[in-house]
């Protein structure tokens, strides 16, 4: 059982329905969901939404972030430009578990045009259920952080 945490959610226009499903799922699990939009399917720009969510995590306002666009790729690229963010795109639960266990990811990105809702929720559960293993992985994560300097 994952203790309740504060999780920021955002997406572009391609992922509103899946984002809503994830928000409901997280709330059902007892998490505090900070859904920062957008709220309409009008075409928008994923870098702005990736950055906004990433800043909530980087500042410590939210413990983790989940972001979505059509492929999950563009919004992930934007989020990773924010200092302190480690975000991976996942299309399977194994990768979602490993980006936390080995890479200490603090954000997950999903492609709403890639994964269906059932799989997406399994990916979210795997991400939230995993823990960073530290040890040799700590050194490697510190090497990633050093690249930001
Ligand atoms: C929007 O059409 C699409 O480009 C966007 O959602 C995303 O897939 C970009 O990486």
Overall number of domains in the chain = 1
Tokens 């009008």 locate to 42
Residue nearest to atom 8 of ligand 1 (CA): 70
- Do 58 and 86 contact (CB within 8 A), yes or no? no
Q: Which pLDDT tens digit goes with each residue over 89-121? A: 999 999 999 999 999 999 999 999 999 999 999
Residue nearest to atom 7 of ligand 1 (CA): 70
| Structural domain boundaries, residue 86 | 6-146
Tokens 């299309």 locate to 91
Q: What is the pLDDT of residue 48?
A: 98
Confidence bin at 3 (pLDDT 50/70/90): confident
Q: Which pLDDT tens digit goes with each residue over 33-82? A: 999 999 999 999 999 999 999 999 999 999 999 999 999 999 999 999 99
Residue 25 to residue 59: CA distance in whole angstroms: 25
Q: What is the pLDDT of residue 1?
A: 60
Q: Is residue 1 in some structural domain?
A: no
Residue 147 main-chain phi, psi, to 5 deg: -70, -20
Q: For residue 64, what are the β-bridge partners? A: 7
90 counts as catalytic: no
The answer, yes or no, to whether any atom of ligand 1 lies below 6 A from the CB of 93, is no
Residue 33 to residue 9: CA distance in whole angstroms: 7
Residue 37 to residue 105: CA distance in whole angstroms: 22
CATH no. for residue 76?
A: 3.40.1400.10
Q: Is residue 131 in some structural domain?
A: yes
Q: Is residue 37 in some structural domain?
A: yes
């Amino acid at each position: 059982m994952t203790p309740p945490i504060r999780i920021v959610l955002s997406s572009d226009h391609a992922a509103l329905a899946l984002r809503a499903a994830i928000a409901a799922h997280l709330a059902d699990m007892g998490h505090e969901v900070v859904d920062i939009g957008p709220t309409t399917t009008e075409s928008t720009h994923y870098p702005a939404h990736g950055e906004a969510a990433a800043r909530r995590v980087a500042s410590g306002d939210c413990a983790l972030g989940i972001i979505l666009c059509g492929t999950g790729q563009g919004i992930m690229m934007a989020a990773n430009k924010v200092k302190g963010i480690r975000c991976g795109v996942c299309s399977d639960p194994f990768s979602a578990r490993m980006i936390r266990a080995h890479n200490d990811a603090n954000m997950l990105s999903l492609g709403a045009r890639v994964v269906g809702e059932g799989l997406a929720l399994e990916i979210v559960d795997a991400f939230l259920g995993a823990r960073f293993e530290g040890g040799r992985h700590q050194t490697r994560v510190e090497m990633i952080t050093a690249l930001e300097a």
